[in-house]
Amino acid sequence: MANSTIKRDFWHRFSKNKIAVAGSAVVILLFVVSLLAPWISPYDPGEINLQMVLSPPSGSHLFGTDQLGRDVLSRMIWGSRISLKVGFVATGIAIAIGIILGATAGYYGKWIDGTIMRFVDIMLCFPAFFLILAVIAFLEPSIWNIMIVIGITGWMGITRLVRADFISLKERDYVQAARAIGASDLRIIFIHILPNAMASVLVAATLGVAGAILTESALSFLGIGVQPPTPSWGNILTAGKDNIDIAWWLSLYPGLAILITVLGYNLLGEGIRDSLDPRLKG
Amino acid sequence: MVPLLIGITIICFTVMHLAPGSPTDLQTQMNPRASAEMKERLRSMYDLDKPLHQQYLFWVGKLIVLDLGRSFSPDRRPVADKILERLPITILINVLSMILIIIVAIPIGVLSAVHQDSLFDKITGVFVFVGFSIPTFWLALLLMILLGVNLGWLPISGIRSLNYEYLPPFSAFIDLVKHLILPVFVSAFGGLAGLSRYMRSSMLEVIRQDYITTARSKGLSERVVIYKHALRNALLPIITILGLSIPGLIGGSVIFETIFAIPGMGQLFYMSVMARDYPVIMGILVIGAVLTLLGNLIADVSYALADPRIRVA
């Protein structure tokens, strides 16, 4: 049962790793907050109260109110759902593309590999943020378009990782054995090789979620992402910038939420990497 | 190089065909922002009534002579002029932040590798994680509130004061520097964290090599071993990393130029996206990619110059 020993070792190292535990705690907390949003947010995130416009943090509004008198804490709690959704869907798209292209390039090699990797090089020439903005300019900004665009501009790193793993794994004896008993290419790729390449994908995916959340918040901050009145951490910060000289709380808290969330995913990714292979620790 | 350039133009061409008015777009009628006149101009500019391969060739033909068409904004100026007049300030800020990244990150990386697991190493480790995770636009907002609004030390928007033209040369220079401090710092911050991390691991790698042991065993001082034998070799991979960080810097210019109201290419791009000024968007997309390609080329050449074992093929 070599497999279960590897898993046990992983969990052992993972639970001893302070970075990994701190990262998981943040990520789990976020899941809980966004799941429980309707029950734990003190106010309706869309409830406008013109008597309470831009009031500073107080007992009734812990994080203050925005330019329409809406409760900032409630909007942040609901905004966590957006971050979670964008992070996972965008990264899911990037991983799907990355695995398919990386596996094809690594497994088949030759001109197929050459073509795909050239395509990767070309995509990497574009400043990612430029490409995302350009595509969004042509579409309408909506949360779905954002997730798709972040996904289709973020698969290149994963393609390179998966390809590298496939090139070394496809020469292994067990792959030769599978081929000898007549397994199809698809079966070899998905059943025999891919599971062994998932470790690096998992790490890249965790870090990818962090990157996607950062990108979404920047887009929403610029007004090209999630559109008001839907609350997102980025678009609360836009209000913060508009009221920069009178309402510091609009700038401070949502940004802190982004920082802690992204930090959580980055720590988790780093923790997974260290626990998968202690030699890589650096 | 050339295949990459062709690839870049093909991708831009594909993005362009998402525009309303193109034959592939069904949303045209639904998009109120695209007026009939705009569609007509798009059609004539990109020869949309011709077959696809001809459209592409015509477009590339114009691109080669830097004919990017005219802007959709009321001024109707040629896109190339609009971009070129805004390019210097963007390049200036990017070069300055690159220099800042290099002079701060390399010493940090070297010191934390040489004193591995020391307090300094641990503190910079935390700084690196925060640097990776902090949204730069939020950092910009906080610094604006703190240094601009509350303390009044630094201006928070534009690149010159209102009375700039009446200032003597030296004060004018100081004025410009004051305006550039925040944007350069903010755009450098993320890269700083990344590069110091890479520098640290590169240095750790080199210190374990046999020739370092040799240098030590023949009695060289630790100073010479670290700064002469180790540092030079550890710097090599950093050149590649710097090249790879160029697209991030250029892309980031959209964010900080918008926040600090700097009249550069990034701000132009943002305004064009908001106004659906398609010719400008396409122009900046191509130029941004070509700049990245140039940056990578410079990195490759400097790598070859720095390491005699590598020669440009």
Q: What is the mean pLDDT of chain B?
A: 80
Q: In chain B, which residue's Cα lies nearest the Cα of A255?
A: B138
Predicted confidence at residue B81, as pLDDT, reads 85
The verdict on a CB contact (< 8 Å) between B133 and A123 is no
Predicted confidence at residue A116, as pLDDT, reads 92
Q: How far apart are CA A23 and CA A149, in angstroms?
A: 27
Q: How far apart are CA B153 and CA B147, in angstroms?
A: 6
Predicted confidence at residue B282, as pLDDT, reads 84
User: In this complex, is the C-beta atom of A96 within 8 Å of any C-beta atom belonging to chain B?
Assistant: no
The verdict on a CB contact (< 8 Å) between A130 and B293 is no
Predicted confidence at residue A105, as pLDDT, reads 92
Query: What does the block give as tokens for B154?
Result: 């630094």
Gap between the terminal Cα atoms of chain A: 30
Q: Which is nearest to A56 in space by CA: A249, A256, A240? A: A249
* Of the partner residues A138, A241, A267, the one whose CB lies closest to the CB of residue B129: A267
Q: Does position A258 have pLDDT exceeding 90, yes or no?
A: yes
SS3 B70: strand
Pairwise pLDDT comparison (B18 vs A273), residue with the higher score? A273
Summarize the confidence of residues A230-240 as an average pLDDT: 87
Q: How far apart are CA B222 and CA B227, in angstroms?
A: 8
Predicted confidence at residue B29, as pLDDT, reads 46
Query: What does the block give as tokens for B279?
Result: 């010719």
Share of chain B above pLDDT 70, in %: 87
A134, B285 Cβ separation under 8 angstroms: yes
Summarize the confidence of residues A236-244 as an average pLDDT: 85
The verdict on a CB contact (< 8 Å) between B285 and A122 is no
**How far does the CA of residue A176 sit from the closest CA of chain B (Å)?**
35
**B37: pLDDT confidence band, cut at 50, 70 and 90?**
low
Q: What's at A150, amino acid-wise?
A: I
How far is the CA of A156 from the CAs of A124, A188, A280, B77, B251, in angstroms? Answer: 7, 23, 22, 36, 17
Lowest mean pLDDT among A98-102, A108-112, B279-283: B279-283
Pairwise pLDDT comparison (B171 vs A202), residue with the higher score? A202
Summarize the confidence of residues A34-60 as an average pLDDT: 81
The verdict on a CB contact (< 8 Å) between B255 and A129 is yes
User: In this complex, is the C-beta atom of A223 within 8 Å of any C-beta atom belonging to chain B?
Assistant: yes
Cα-only R_g, chain A: 22
Buried/exposed A232-269: b ≥16 CB within 10 Å, e otherwise:
bbbbbbbbbbebbeebbbbbbbbbebbbebbbbbbbbb
Q: For chain B, how long is the longest CA-to-CA vector?
A: 80
Q: Does position B25 have pLDDT exceeding 60, yes or no?
A: no
A255 CB neighbours in chain B (<8 A) are: 135, 138, 141-142
Q: Does position B20 have pLDDT exceeding 60, yes or no?
A: no
Predicted confidence at residue A99, as pLDDT, reads 93
Of these ranges, A68-77, A81-90, A188-197, the one predicted with the greatest mean pLDDT is A81-90
B75-79, long-range: CB < 8 A, 24+ apart = B79/B279, B79/B280, B79/B283
DSSP class of B149: I
DSSP class of B100: H
Number of H helices, E strands in chain B: 13, 0
Q: How far apart are CA A37 and CA A82, in angstroms?
A: 12
Summarize the confidence of residues A48-72 as an average pLDDT: 80
**B26: pLDDT confidence band, cut at 50, 70 and 90?**
very low
Predicted confidence at residue A32, as pLDDT, reads 92
Cis, bond preceding A45 (omega within 30 deg of 0): no
User: In this complex, is the C-beta atom of A125 within 8 Å of any C-beta atom belonging to chain B?
Assistant: yes
Q: How far apart are CA B70 and CA B41, in angstroms?
A: 10
Summarize the confidence of residues A74-96 as an average pLDDT: 91
- Supply the DSSP string of B278-309, one letter for each residue: HHHHHHHHHHHHHHHHHHHHHHHHHHHHH-TT
Q: Does position B135 have pLDDT exceeding 50, yes or no?
A: yes
Give the Cβ contact number of residue A103 at 10 Å: 21
Summarize the confidence of residues B117-139 as an average pLDDT: 86
Q: How far apart are CA A269 and CA A278, in angstroms?
A: 14
At which residue do the structure tokens 């110091």 appear? B196
* Of the partner residues A126, A263, A282, the one whose CB lies closest to the CB of residue B133: A263
Predicted confidence at residue A92, as pLDDT, reads 94
Q: Which is nearest to B296 in space by CA: B248, B254, B257? A: B248
Summarize the confidence of residues A65-83 as an average pLDDT: 86
ipTM of the complex: 0.84
Q: How far apart are CA A49 and CA A220, in angstroms?
A: 23
B15 CB neighbours in chain A (<8 A) are: 131, 134-135, 138
Of these ranges, A239-243, B106-110, B241-245, the one predicted with the greatest mean pLDDT is B106-110
Q: Does position A76 have pLDDT exceeding 50, yes or no?
A: yes
Q: Does position A69 have pLDDT exceeding 60, yes or no?
A: yes
Predicted confidence at residue B290, as pLDDT, reads 86
The verdict on a CB contact (< 8 Å) between A259 and B274 is no
Summarize the confidence of residues B52-63 as an average pLDDT: 79
Q: Does position A188 have pLDDT exceeding 50, yes or no?
A: yes
The verdict on a CB contact (< 8 Å) between B141 and A259 is no
Interface-testing mutation among B10, B138, B208, with chain A (most A C-beta atoms within 10 A): B138
Of these ranges, A52-56, A58-62, A213-217, B21-25, the one predicted with the greatest mean pLDDT is A213-217
Predicted confidence at residue B46, as pLDDT, reads 64
Q: Which is nearest to A253 in space by CA: A85, A84, A75, A24? A: A75
A224 CB neighbours in chain B (<8 A) are: 273-274
Q: Does position B255 have pLDDT exceeding 60, yes or no?
A: yes
Residue range A128-157, pLDDT digits in tens: 888 888 888 777 778 888 899 899 988 998
Pairwise pLDDT comparison (B161 vs A75), residue with the higher score? A75
Predicted confidence at residue B28, as pLDDT, reads 45
